[in-house]
Amino acid sequence: MPASSTLPRLKDLGLLFRLGVTCLVLTLLGGYVVSGIHLRKHYDNRDESPGFTLDDVRAAYHGISAPSPLRAALQDGHPEDLAQADRDALLAWLDSDSLSQDYDNLDLGDEAPAEIIAVSCLDCHARGSEDPGSAIPLEYWDDVRPLAFSTDIQPTPDEIIAVSQHTHAPTMAMVLLIVGALGAMTRWARAFVGLLVAVGGVGLLLDMAAWWLAKDNAAWVYAIVGGGLAQGASVMLLGLISLIDMWLPGGRSRPNLD
Ligand code: HEC
């Protein structure tokens, strides 16, 4: 007798049972797709720039701090021929709390950042310029603003991570246990089902642990993303192979049952 016959096969269970399980698995997988989309939206702006990237996850679990690119360029001595007084005025403005108010403040006269930039930067940093600097236009406040602010994003507070984990960890583990059990009741090779369960289990554990570890070490952000993807893919595949098994001809353990 093949070893797999120790578990009942999904195909041995009645038509109504399979119909019900099919609906439940479809609901589960649909829920995963929806929450995947929601996750993207939820984290989209964590790094304060549009689009969902690794930096969004990094911002949420580790925090991000980066100096303003404008400040960094000026401090690095860019552009070479900028008068020291103008450089100092721009740096003082970047350090102030009134970046947007003072950008084109008329009271500042020639020392207004917009004036200095117009005179000293736009030869290169205008859209129509021939210089490669035109790739980074600085013509309007909307161009300058994203480069002016430094980034200081605090990671999600521990209490919120704990609350989120309190709902996510048990639910996702249960889901994986159940689709794993369903997968084990199919005709698919044991080793294949085992591999999917192992990948999902390791992925989920890594993901959940990395939520905490990423706070101190940003490298764990890769484990959050990789572990999350691994367990998501594992749930999807286990669900799919169960669906396929339930409706494909054959696959019973004891063909004489009905
Ligand atoms: C002679 C041309 C020229 C002038 C003048 C100039 N820049 Fe640039 N700037 C460049 C070039 C070229 C780059 C690199 C563009 C790229 O990486 O595609 C650059 C890059 C930058 C960057 C981006 C640095 C980064 O980290 O990527 C900033 C910010 C910047 N310039 C600010 C300024 C400011 C402010 C001024 C005026 C005070 C100025 N630049 C004047 C040519 C110029």
Q: Is the dihedral of CA 245, 246, 249, 251 positive or negative?
A: positive
Write out residues with Cβ below 6 Å of ligand 1. Answer: 69-70, 72-73, 78-79, 82, 117, 120-121, 123-125, 131-133, 135-136, 147
Please give the Cα distance from 87 to 75 (Å, whole number): 8
Q: How far apart are the first and last CA of the chain?
A: 19
* Burial class of residue 55, CB neighbours in 10 A (0-12, 13-18, 19+): buried
pLDDT digits (tens, 9 = 90+) for 53-108: 899 999 999 999 888 999 999 999 999 999 999 999 999 999 998 999 999 998 98
Q: Is the dihedral of CA 226, 228, 230, 233 positive or negative?
A: negative
Nearest residue CA, atom 3 of ligand 1? 124
Query: How far is ligand 1, taken at its centre, from the CA of residue 51, in Å?
Result: 24
Q: 116 is written with which tokens?
A: 């200095």
CA-based nearest residue to 140, from 163, 121, 164, 166: 121
Atom number of ligand 1 nearest to Cα 81: 5
Task: Look at residue 1 in the predicted model and tell me its pLDDT.
Answer: 47
Nearest residue CA, atom 34 of ligand 1? 121
| CA distances to 71, 141, 180, 195, 252 from 234, in Å | 45, 47, 9, 9, 24
Query: How far is ligand 1, taken at its centre, from the CA of residue 64, in Å?
Result: 24
Q: How many CB atoms sit inside 10 A of residue 224's CB?
A: 23
Query: How far is ligand 1, taken at its centre, from the CA of residue 133, in Å?
Result: 5
Task: Look at residue 258 in the predicted model and tell me its pLDDT.
Answer: 47
Atom number of ligand 1 nearest to Cα 72: 26
Q: What are phi and psi of 256, to 5 degrees?
A: -85, 0
Q: 47 is written with which tokens?
A: 């790094």
| CA distances to 24, 27, 160 from 193, in Å | 20, 21, 34
pLDDT digits (tens, 9 = 90+) for 180-214: 999 999 999 999 999 999 999 999 999 999 999 99
> Is the pLDDT score of 145 beyond 50?
yes
Atom number of ligand 1 nearest to Cα 87: 38
Please give the Cα distance from 98 to 100 (Å, whole number): 6
Ligand 1, pocket-test mutation among 68, 70, 74, 78, most atoms within 8 A of CB: 78
